[in-house]
Amino acid sequence: MSVVRTQFSVVFGFVLLALWGCSSGPNAPSISSAKKERWRAQEERACLSSRVVRNSRFIQQRSSLGGPGVCGALRPFKMAAANSGRVALKPAALLRCPMVPQVDRWVSEVVSPAARRYLGSRVVRIKIASSYSCRRIAGTRKLSEHGHANAVDVSRFYLADGREIRVKSGWNGGWGERRFLRAAHRGGCKYFTTVLGPRYNRAHRDHFHLDLARHGRKGTFRVCK
């Protein structure tokens, strides 16, 4: 699968850090009244037109994904594996087009090499804690990127030798686990505009949150915490 290279500016201490969380909290009326952001549809249509993401044994296009208000995506994909099928995603992630190549690149260019280097084994499966979900960011009235199928949460990595690396316990675990998880987190910042993990807050102590939200007036900032 071909991929698109994107460069992002690094911004530290960005004020929007305070807004990001992955737990859903109670359903909010604001979801149904949220304003549409034109760039989302434009970006998704451009990705679909480019055919950078194509159907395969591991990636299948689905019908339009709707929800309350602006939740959903035009033509989402069900992504069951990355790195040409070598790394299973379970359960399969439901994602909008621009997310698919970035997840694939992160797994093939960061996660897999880091596992071989620090753990001496191959990653064969990744636990997807969440992908599409029409919900608010915890503690706010802002719709989560999960509501746009523009985010994925990863909580565990399974190795070919039978080991299971959990973000929650491995972040401060043995030397290999710590180095692997930090490399996976740090490397994600090359491919996603938002990367959150255990250092961010307690809500992220057990998973990595990865998304392609636009930060700042020009959408050129990234949040990596």
Q: What is the pLDDT of residues 118-175, one digit of tens each?
A: 999 999 999 999 999 998 887 788 899 999 999 999 999 999 999 999 999 999 999 9
Residue 201 and residue 142 in contact, taking contact as beta carbons nearer than 8 Å = no
Rounded CA-CA distance 185/208 in Å is 7
DSSP-assigned letters across all residues of 145-160: GGGGT-EEEEEEEEET
Other Cβ atoms within 10 Å of 53 Cβ, number:
25
Per domain, the residue ranges of the chain are: 9-224
- The per-residue pLDDT for range 47-90, each reduced to its tens digit, is 999 999 999 999 999 988 876 678 999 999 999 999 999 999 99
198 upstream amide cis, omega within 30 of 0: no
Rounded CA-CA distance 131/153 in Å is 6
Q: What is the DSSP letter of 81?
A: E
- The per-residue pLDDT for range 22-32, each reduced to its tens digit, is 544 444 435 54
Q: What is the DSSP letter of 36?
A: P
